[in-house]
């Protein structure tokens, strides 16, 4: 238990109801301490080598978490283990033994009793000399390390002691063994028969969930499996079965067969699909489970409701463009009282345009009316030096299109902001990432490549919709995608961006590493200062987004170089490891976030992604996506959607249009949440809001449901609070001293406590 100045809690962890995984068969566990040594020495291959003086290490977690913080390069793991013949007794597949070693970041060679048996996830079937350059090329950190040997392989010493030695190489960042499973056992039915859900997301028709495609793959080249496929769905809250269907199957060797399951479920109810294949002869089962999307965000009502930030920063004389975000039955009529001189509000679309010349805070009253009613809201325009007073909200092309971005795809994204209604919830920026550049011409003008025939015209089009445009470059000669960067052309490039009408610049370190290979603090800041000098010269407000993956603790000095946001980490991916690794490590940056100065834990990985051109549906489960949005809201993170907006399903849209979740992100106090409690399975993050309320996120990092008991002992939390469940937008009643809440696996509960 940990005391914090925000909340003090006792945490009771209870496993409730269904949604559990089945236990595995008979295996020798390897998730026990191994011997560990940094460095590299061929003598460590030998079974006879005495490693008893080596340190012990847990193989299921990276070495940085176990006292080897700055270790990059080589290190070895060794373990002595018996391989009993009895493992073969109840095996369905009698001829193959497997050694599973979780994952290894980045590369590995695995030796059994002094002989190489595997390398970077690939089996080495016969005696082979280790390859000296096994640690070069594309990182293998995400590959499962499963090494298979024939039972009569002489490298196995049955019923005797065996020595497994693993040579690992980390090319930077996290390093070494991690993840699960770690064991030795016979190859089993689940190793041969696989359920594959990567066909795409669940199908929706309008707001209803209709079906899901999946495939069954038999990876065995010779075995045929006959049995019964059962698919059932059960609610997570009470375990009640929603439906069940059974089919007899004959799964022939080396095949992949696609099936469709039709879904019957209330959209709001969290439920799980259970897949099971039972093989007739052995009675062995292969099973998988899949969370079904559930929508918590209520649909916008017919009455007008003004959304989006309540504060907006602009510099004197910069072109002003702000779209009043509002939902409600059209047509909506917009008006405003006390607009500063020089600004004009367009009554039919809510666009505010013009120029403000005088510095100052202008308290404006916005009004939106339709035939059902009227909504009013105070809106402060702060004309001064600081822009981006709330985190930017928009779309970025990278996570979906990668380098295949084009004018057409960017315009489609802008159109989709309008047609999907995202624009009515405060979504504003349409950002082009890497892949638009050509060369600088002989006069130093940056040219666009054939995919962007007319950048200015495209920007005008996007602005005409009430949206803003972002662009990307690098301080180095080349961008990360190999396109032309801004090195030595900073001034001209900045002017060009302004002429086109750019409102946001992501400036990515990339090849600047070649100019400053071991950058000092000064060198880390220099290229960012350099570009900002010219960005500040142009007559436009350009959000300045630093991208250098957190080097030199950028959150401590990003404001010094006048950045509006700065990436605190490497690139995010659509996996739980990546999302949770990044999201839950942001507490150290919290104190440095403020209006106009945002920590950026990278873009959203929901919906149809792919880093282009080929796309796939996010591999995050629905609960993980609730965690993603809840945490990014609490972290006051820039919200940049990274998916194909033309193919957005009802679930993804519901994640992105919850105005109460977005209001936490856009809270004008601009105070980023920090972690206030951490156990092995749960974390609690909290943030103060401008009106004195507290936003709290309860996160379950485990694979089982948990009940979290929260105690409000802190002096700042004395008194009675009205507790709001933010996703369904429902008051839960008064709380005073403590409360308990169920949190689903890898899921989140987002709460706001308001003074009673």
Q: So which residues are the catalytic ones?
A: 508, 571
Q: Which is nearer to ligand GAL, 119 or 437 (CB)?
A: 437
What b/e readout covers 657-693, taking b as 16+ CB neighbours within 10 angstroms?
A: bbbbbbbbbbbbbbbbbbbbbbeebbbbbbbbbeeeb
Q: Whole-angstrom Cα distance, residue 698 to residue 696?
A: 7
Asked if 168 and 104 touch (Cβ cutoff 8 Å), the reply is yes
What b/e readout covers 567-595, taking b as 16+ CB neighbours within 10 angstroms?
A: bbbeebbbebebbbbbbbebbebbebbbb
Q: Provide the minimum distance between the beta carbon of 434 and ligand GAL in the complex, in angstroms, as a whole number.
A: 4
Q: Whole-angstrom Cα distance, residue 434 to residue 397?
A: 8
Q: Which is nearer to ligand GAL, 423 or 609 (CB)?
A: 609
Report the length, in residues, of the chain.
756
Q: Which is nearer to ligand GAL, 135 or 436 (CB)?
A: 436
Q: Provide the minimum distance between the beta carbon of 479 and ligand GAL in the complex, in angstroms, as a whole number.
A: 6
Q: List Cα–Cα distances, 43 to 57, 113, 164, 168, 687, in angstroms.
A: 20, 13, 14, 15, 53
Within 236-316, strands assigned E span 241-251, 255-262, 271-279, 285-291, 305-307, 311-314
Q: Whole-angstrom Cα distance, residue 251 to residue 229?
A: 11
Q: Provide the minimum distance between the beta carbon of 612 and ligand GAL in the complex, in angstroms, as a whole number.
A: 11
Q: Provide the minimum distance between the beta carbon of 329 and ligand GAL in the complex, in angstroms, as a whole number.
A: 39
Q: Provide the minimum distance between the beta carbon of 504 and ligand GAL in the complex, in angstroms, as a whole number.
A: 13
Q: Which is nearer to ligand GAL, 106 or 602 (CB)?
A: 602
Q: Which is nearer to ligand GAL, 478 or 492 (CB)?
A: 478
Asked if 446 and 437 touch (Cβ cutoff 8 Å), the reply is yes
Phi, psi of 387 (to 5 degrees): -115, 180
Q: Provide the minimum distance between the beta carbon of 572 and ligand GAL in the complex, in angstroms, as a whole number.
A: 8
Q: Which is nearer to ligand GAL, 233 or 605 (CB)?
A: 605
Q: Provide the minimum distance between the beta carbon of 481 and ligand GAL in the complex, in angstroms, as a whole number.
A: 4
Q: Provide the minimum distance between the beta carbon of 523 and ligand GAL in the complex, in angstroms, as a whole number.
A: 18
User: Which position has the token pair 């899901």?
Assistant: 212
Q: How many CB atoms neighbour CB 511 within 10 A? A: 17
Q: Provide the minimum distance between the beta carbon of 548 and ligand GAL in the complex, in angstroms, as a whole number.
A: 9
Q: Which of 508, 521, 511 is nearest to 473 (CA)?
A: 508
Q: Which is nearer to ligand GAL, 352 or 510 (CB)?
A: 510
Q: Residues with Cβ < 8 Å from 669, sequence gap 6 or more?
A: 688, 689, 690
Q: Residues with Cβ < 8 Å from 435, sequence gap 6 or more?
A: 397, 401, 402, 403, 404, 405, 449, 451, 481, 483
Q: Provide the minimum distance between the beta carbon of 551 and ligand GAL in the complex, in angstroms, as a whole number.
A: 12
Structure tokens at 371: 């035939």
End-to-end CA distance of the chain: 28
Q: Provide the minimum distance between the beta carbon of 639 and ligand GAL in the complex, in angstroms, as a whole number.
A: 15
Q: Residues with Cβ < 8 Å from 441, sequence gap 6 or more?
A: 447
Q: Which is nearer to ligand GAL, 602 or 624 (CB)?
A: 602
Structure tokens at 692: 């004195």
Torsion angle in degrees (nearest 10) through CA of 223, 225, 231, 234: -70
Q: Which is nearer to ligand GAL, 277 or 566 (CB)?
A: 566
Report the interface residues with ligand GAL, using CB under 6 A: 398, 433-434, 479-481, 508, 510, 547, 571
Q: Characterize the bridge pairing of strands 360-369 and 351-355.
A: unpaired
Q: Provide the minimum distance between the beta carbon of 570 and ligand GAL in the complex, in angstroms, as a whole number.
A: 7
Q: Whole-angstrom Cα distance, residue 373 to residue 304?
A: 7
Within 338-459, strands assigned E span 343-345, 351-355, 360-369, 374-383, 393-396, 429-431, 437-440, 446-448
Q: Which of 605, 503, 603 is nearest to 544 (CA)?
A: 503
Structure tokens at 558: 């990003």
What's the alpha-carbon Rg for the chain, to the nearest Å? 28
Q: What is the DSSP letter of 31?
A: -
Asked if 78 and 164 touch (Cβ cutoff 8 Å), the reply is yes
Q: Which is nearer to ligand GAL, 117 or 455 (CB)?
A: 455
Handedness of CA 353, 358, 359, 360 (dihedral sign): negative
Q: Looking at the DSSP assignment, which residues form a beta bridge with residue 103?
A: 144, 178
Q: Which of 651, 642, 652 is nearest to 603 (CA)?
A: 642
Q: Whole-angstrom Cα distance, residue 478 to residue 472?
A: 12
Q: Provide the minimum distance between the beta carbon of 461 and ligand GAL in the complex, in angstroms, as a whole number.
A: 23
């Amino acid at each position: 238990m940990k005391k914090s100045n925000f909340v003090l809690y006792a945490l009771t962890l209870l496993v409730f109801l269904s949604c559990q995984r089945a236990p595995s068969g008979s295996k020798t566990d390897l998730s026990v301490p191994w011997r560990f040594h940094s460095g590299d020495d061929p003598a460590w291959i030998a079974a006879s080598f005495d490693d008893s003086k080596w340190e012990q290490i847990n193989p299921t977690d990276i070495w940085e978490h176990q006292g080897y913080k700055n270790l990059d390069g080589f290190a070895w793991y060794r373990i002595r283990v018996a391989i009993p013949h009895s493992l073969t007794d109840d095996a369905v597949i009698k001829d193959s033994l497997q050694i599973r070693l979780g994952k290894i970041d980045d590369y590995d060679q695995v030796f059994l009793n002094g002989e190489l048996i595997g390398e970077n996830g690939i089996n080495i079937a016969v005696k082979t000399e280790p390859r000296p350059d096994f640690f070069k090329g594309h990182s293998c950190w995400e590959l499962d390390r499963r090494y298979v040997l024939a039972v009569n392989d002489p490298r196995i010493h049955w019923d005797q002691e065996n020595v497994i030695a693993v040579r690992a190489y980390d090319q930077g960042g996290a390093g070494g063994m991690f993840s699960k499973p770690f064991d030795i056992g016979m190859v089993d039915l689940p190793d041969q028969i696989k359920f594959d859900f990567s066909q795409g997301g669940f199908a929706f028709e309008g707001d209803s969930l209709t079906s899901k495609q999946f495939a069954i793959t038999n990876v065995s080249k010779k075995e045929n499996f006959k049995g019964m496929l059962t698919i059932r769905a059960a609610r997570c809250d009470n375990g009640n079965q929603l439906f069940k269907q059974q089919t007899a199957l004959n799964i022939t060797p080396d095949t992949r067969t696609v099936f469709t399951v039709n879904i019957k479920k209330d959209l709001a109810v969290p439920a799980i699909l259970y897949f099971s294949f039972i093989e007739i002869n052995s009675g062995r089962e292969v099973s998988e489970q899949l969370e079904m999307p559930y929508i918590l965000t209520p649909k916008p009502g017919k009455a007008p409701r003004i959304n989006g930030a309540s504060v907006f920063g602009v510099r004197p004389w910069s072109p002003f463009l702000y779209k009043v975000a509002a939902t409600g039955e059209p047509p909506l009529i917009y008006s405003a009282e006390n607009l500063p001189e020089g600004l004009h509000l367009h009554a039919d679309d809510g666009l505010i345009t013009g120029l403000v010349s005088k510095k100052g805070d202008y308290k404006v009253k916005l009004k939106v009316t339709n035939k059902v009613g009227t909504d009013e809201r105070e809106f402060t325009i702060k004309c001064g030096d600081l822009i981006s007073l709330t985190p930017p909200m928009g779309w970025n092309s990278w996570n979906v299109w990668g380098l295949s971005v084009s004018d057409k795809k960017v315009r489609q994204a802008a159109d989709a902001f309008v047609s999907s209604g995202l624009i009515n919830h405060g979504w504003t920026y349409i950002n082009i990432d890497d892949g638009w550049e050509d060369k600088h011409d002989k006069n130093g003008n940056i040219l666009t490549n054939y995919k962007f025939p007319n950048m200015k015209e495209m920007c005008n089009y996007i602005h005409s919709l009430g949206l803003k445009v972002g662009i990307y470059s690098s301080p180095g000669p080349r961008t990360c995608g190999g396109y032309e960067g801004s090195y030595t052309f900073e001034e001209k490039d900045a002017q060009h961006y302004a002429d086109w009408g750019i409102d946001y610049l992501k400036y990515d370190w990339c090849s600047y590493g070649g100019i400053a290979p071991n950058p000092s603090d000064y060198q880390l800041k220099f290229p960012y200062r350099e570009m900002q000098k010219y960005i500040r010269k142009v007559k436009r407000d350009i959000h300045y987004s630093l991208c250098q993956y957190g080097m030199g603790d950028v959150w401590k000095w990003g404001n010094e170089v006048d950045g509006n946001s700065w990436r605190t980490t490497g690139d995010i991916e659509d996996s739980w490891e990546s999302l949770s690794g990044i999201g839950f490590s942001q507490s150290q940056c919290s104190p440095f976030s403020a209006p106009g100065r945002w920590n950026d834990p990278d873009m959203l990985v929901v919906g149809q992604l792919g880093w282009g051109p080929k796309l796939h549906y996010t591999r995050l489960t629905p609960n993980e996506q609730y965690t993603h949005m809840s945490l990014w809201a609490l972290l006051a993170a820039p919200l940049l959607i990274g998916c194909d907006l033309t193919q957005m399903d009802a679930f993804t849209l519901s994640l992105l249009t919850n105005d109460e979740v977005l209001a936490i992100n856009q809270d004008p106090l601009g105070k980023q949440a920090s972690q206030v409690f951490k156990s092995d399975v749960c974390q609690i993050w909290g943030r103060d809001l401008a009106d004195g309320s507290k936003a709290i996120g309860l996160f379950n990092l485990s694979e089982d449901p948990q009940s979290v008991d929260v105690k409000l002992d802190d002096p700042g939390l004395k008194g009675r609070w009205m507790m709001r469940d933010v996703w369904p937008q429902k008051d839960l009643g008064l709380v005073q001293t403590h409360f308990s809440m169920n949190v689903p696996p890898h899921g989140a509960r987002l709460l706001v406590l308001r003074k009673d």
